[in-house]
Amino acid sequence: MARRHDPGRRQRIIDAAIRVVGRDGIAGLSHRSVAAEADVPLGSTTYHFATLEELLVAALRQAGEGFSGVPAELVPDHGGPDALAAQLARALGDWLGGERTGVELEYELYLAALRRPALRPVAAEWTERAAARLARRTDPVTARALLALMDGLCLQVLLTGGSYDEEHARTLLARLIP
């Protein structure tokens, strides 16, 4: 029997994994749940991703454009420390004010690296990319401190269900920028 050519299947499987994690959390992720979501045979998921870890790595890479991309789109190469703090605070507000499920999904995948060592290099890539973008406007140590603060602010909003206070974030960020 001839094998059907389906060049988009791998991507559909990754997209389905992201939807499954977004809906059911990482605990709901299985080859079977992803195959059903992607409407592909179960063997396709294991063909493209021998383990769930491989599938999670692919999903994390794809989802990783959110938080690590925040500094890229909003850190112009001009303006002083106050402008940078305001730009970062505004970007966080835009990101957190968007579709909350997507933000939660990105953090769930990111934090999965705590228990899944295969995800750690991908999580580290997020941090490295974002730090490099911020370091264009400040020194590398300050860039990492800003990222840590931004991460903490996001987690506090997500975990407490509280609202994001852009002015408070701007004040905190400004304290870190020399």
pTM: 0.79
**76: helix, coil or strand?**
coil
Contact 112, 126 (CB under 8 A): no
Could you give the domains of the chain? 9-62 (1.10.10.60), 64-176 (1.10.357.10)
Contact 166, 89 (CB under 8 A): yes
In sequence order, the 6+-apart residues with CB closer than 8 A to the CB of 89 are: 166, 167, 169, 170, 173
Whole-number percent of the chain with pLDDT over 90 = 53
CA distance 7 to 48: 11
- Per residue in 69-126, pLDDT (tens digit) is 555 555 656 678 888 999 999 989 988 887 777 788 888 888 888 999 988 998 898 8
Q: Which two structure tokens, joined as six digits, stand for 129?
A: 């990319």
Widest CA span in the chain: 67
